[in-house]
Structure 1
C-alpha cells in the first residue's frame, strides 16, 4: 500500500460516521503525517506526552504500563482501522505513564494535536467524528473496568475472542494474558477449556 492508500483508508473510515465533502477532505489531508514503526518500536513511553491521534493503517500495536513490580498490564490492542493512544496524556497534556508499542511493522496516519484543534473549527464534521470516537472510547473503558471486576476469567476470555477474533492470532499469548489480567499458564487452561 502507498501513502495515498493509507490516507484513503482513513478517509473511508471517517466517512462511516460523518459526511465529508471535497473541501473537507482537502483540508483534512493537509494535516496528516505518516509514521512507520518497526516491530517493538515505541510510539511513546512514560514521561513523554501524546501529541497526535494515531490511526493504524497497517500493523498491530498495544498500550501497556508497568506496575511497581515491573509487571506489564496491557490496556489496549489495535490493528488496521483502529485508533491507539494514551487519551489521558493527549487530552490532559500531562506526561504519559504508558508505553505504546508496535507488535508488528506498523504504519500510522497521525493527526498532530495543534493542527487537529484548528481543523475542528475549519471542518466541523471532523470535530463531530472525534467526539463520537472519544465517547465510544470512554464507554469501552468503562465496560472493560466493570467486566474485569465482575466477570470471571473464562467469561473475559470468551468476550475477548468474540470481540477480537482477528487479533488473537497476531498477538503473543503473554500479551493476551496481560490484557485479560491472568497468567500465561492460566490463559492456556482457558484456551483448552474453550476448545
Structure 2
C-alpha cells in the first residue's frame, strides 16, 4: 500500500510540529527559575532566628577602626541542628561559610573561623555539636567603603532552603555605625 505524496507530507509536518512542541516544553521546563531565589528577612539584635537547620541570635556587635580598616566583631548564640549546606557545600555545618558583612556598594571579607569567647577556634566536632554555644565572628572592610556606603551596613547570613540550591533565605541585621 502506497501513501500518497500529500499524506506523506502531512505525516512529516505532524512529526516536525510534535518535535518542536516537545522541544519547546522541555526548554520551558528547564528554564523555570524563580524570579526571586533569595528572600531577605530582617532580624534585630537579641532576637532568636529559628530555621530547620540552625537557631541563632546576635548578642553584641562592636565596630572599631585601625588605619584604613574597619573591623566588626559579632558575638552570637548559635545552635547548629543539622548541616545547612553553607557556601553551597553539601553537608556543611560551618555557618561562617554563609555569613558576611554586607556593605552596600563596598567590599568586605568573610569572617575568620568561628571562635570561642576566649579566642580559641572551634574544632569541626564542636561546630557540628547541636548544643547551644556562644561564638565570636570577625569581619574586616576598608574604612573608606564603610564610611561611603549608601545604606546601613548589615550582618548577613545566607541559608539554603534545599539541596538544589534554588532558594535561599538571607537573614540580615542592620549594624549601628
Bigger proportion of residues as helix: 1
TM over 0.5: no
TM-score by length of structure 2 reads 0.29
TM-score (norm 1): 0.27
Structure whose residues are more often strand by fraction: 2
